[in-house]
Amino acid sequence: MGGMRAYSTDLRERVIESVESDECNIPEAARRYKVSEPSIERWLARHRKTGTCAPLPHTGGPSRKLATAEAAIRAAVKAQPDATLQELCELVEKETKIKSGSSMMQRELGRLKLPRKKSRSMPASGIRRGCNASATSFGKQWQSWRWNTSNFWMNPVSTST
């Protein structure tokens, strides 16, 4: 997950040096170094307050909600390997009282490297992908209907006898 990278400390120091030595003002420095004026103002304030203009360390994002539920997730997947994501969410919520959505559960399963494949011992689903008998028969019906309607429009049946 990328994002904006911090400007280098070297660039920050050059900008601060040029502004503090009255070589140029903030708007001129912003144009010269191709950085925003508010960034320069923040760097100057930090430099005056702390003596450094180095970027602050990354504090990270929000903590993972399901991080504490790892054991419960592993147990739920082991007990019911064919459970849907929604079923896993419900099982984990019963065990840990942590409410989560299916997308959150999917990401956590990926982090834990747990499989999401259904076992082959389960009965086949009614939905098929690709070419199968029902799709082929529908295709034949469609071709038949297309031929009949085009034939009808091209050669209308005469009503006079």
Tell me the pLDDT tens digit for each residue of 27-50.
999 999 999 999 999 999 999 999
pTM for this prediction = 0.45
Neighbours of 94 (CB within 10 A): 10
Decide: residue 129, CB within 10 A, 0-12 exposed, 13-18 middle, 19+ buried: exposed
d(CA 32, CA 21): 15
Instruction: Note the pLDDT tens digit of each residue in 57-70.
Output: 888 888 889 999 99
All structural domains of the chain with their residue ranges = 9-50, 67-111
Predicted confidence (pLDDT) at residue 161 exceeds the cutoff of 90: no
Lookup: tokens for 55 = 């970027």
HSE of 25, CA atoms in CB hemisphere, 13 A: 1
User: Is the CB of residue 56 less than 8 Å from the CB of residue 39?
Assistant: no
Instruction: Note the pLDDT tens digit of each residue in 44-57.
Output: 999 999 999 998 88
Choice among 18-22, 53-57, 140-144, 152-156 with the minimum mean pLDDT: 152-156
Q: What is the largest CA-CA distance in the chain?
A: 106
